[in-house]
Copies of this chain bind each other. A is one copy, B any other.
Amino acid sequence: MIDKLIEGIRRTNAPIVVGLDPMLGYVPDYLKKQAFDEFGETLEGAAEAIWLYNRGLVDAVCDLVPAVKPQIAMYEQFGVPGLQAFHRTVEYCKKKGLVVIGDIKRGDIGSTSEAYAVGHLGRVQVGSHAFYGFDEDFVTVNPYLGSDGVRPFVKVCKEEKKGIFVLVKTSNPSSGEFQDRLIDGKPLYELVGEQVAAWGEDCVGTHGYSYVGAVTGATYPEQGRLLRRVMPKTYLLVPGYGAQGGKGADLVHFFNEDGLGAIINSSRGIIAAWKQEQYASYGEKGYADAARAAVLAMQQDIAQALDNRA
């Protein structure tokens, strides 16, 4: 799957993943009305609204980017109906040829991590049959429990030819509280990064990158530069572009010399572009076209930054 992701990045010339993190506040009123007319102002109605919204977004950007990253929390907040919309979104994106990175940030003791891995990447056995639960292509994983919380994911990735991105240095303001603390002179995130490289050592695909990737926030470019060196074969999933404050020029050090090695996520900045002044002329009915325009602007910003580096 890491190979498919890299080929998609090359094909689109866009190392971009669109974060499908729908808040009801982003969904245009006409879509909410359509959903609530059918299901009422209920969890089912909310789930339908975010599904309709997602479908429009995916249709508008699927030829421009290689991947999407639905954030499961934004669906889980609507209970079981929300998770149905998550599943439906994953299936639709895959049908459209997109690589789906489930942003689930799971991680637990061994047997429990195995259940998460099976449910999100693999197949669960029921009697004599095996079923995919959510069937994303990649998921994000929390490293706090150490190797035996991560290895079950790697095992399922091997079997299913899928991948993970392990949290190393997250994009949020307080990420340094624990992640930056020095251990034998090195910050914790660097130790986690070294471990990610070790977990992924025998997981390298045909393009030289491992399917055990890492999450490193765009909001911390200096740490990204360091982590790039610590994990040369690790693909970096870089959130925090746009709404969280990251800019193209901050991102160049997340990439390797080959122009690969990183994929940049933007969520709000793309999916809620129609609510920004810059794209306001699209109006609510043009929300998907506004998203498309925002993707194109982001692509240009990153390409320019990488060109300026050379």
Interface residues of A (CB under 8 A from B): 21, 24, 32, 36, 41-43, 45-46, 71, 73-74, 76-80, 82-84, 87, 105-110, 112-113, 115-116, 118-120, 124-129, 131-134, 142-149, 167, 170-179, 181-184, 188, 191-192, 195
Contact = CB atoms under 8 A, between A and B. Distances in A.
Given A41-B127, A115-B73, A127-B41, A178 B134 contact: no
A128 B170 CA distance: 35
Contact of A172 (B73, B126, B146, B179): B146
A120 B119 CA distance: 19
A146 B171 CA distance: 11
Contact of A145 (B113, B119, B145, B175): B175
A177 B42 contact: no
Given A87-B80, A144-B144, A116 B172 contact: no
Contacts of A87: 79-80
8 contacts: A36-B127, A43-B133, A71-B112, A73-B115, A77-B133, A143-B178, A144-B170, A181-B188
Contact of A146 (B24, B77, B126, B176): B176
B171 A109 contact: yes
Contact of A148 (B83, B106, B146, B172): B172
B79 A131 contact: yes
A188 to B, nearest CB: 7
A220 to B, nearest CB: 13
Most chain B CB within a 10 A radius of its CB, from A36, A110, A175, A192: A175
A21 to B, nearest CB: 8
Contact of A77 (B41, B43, B115, B178): B115
Contact of A126 (B42, B112, B116, B144): B42
B177 A146 contact: yes
Nearest to A117: B77
B146 A179 contact: yes
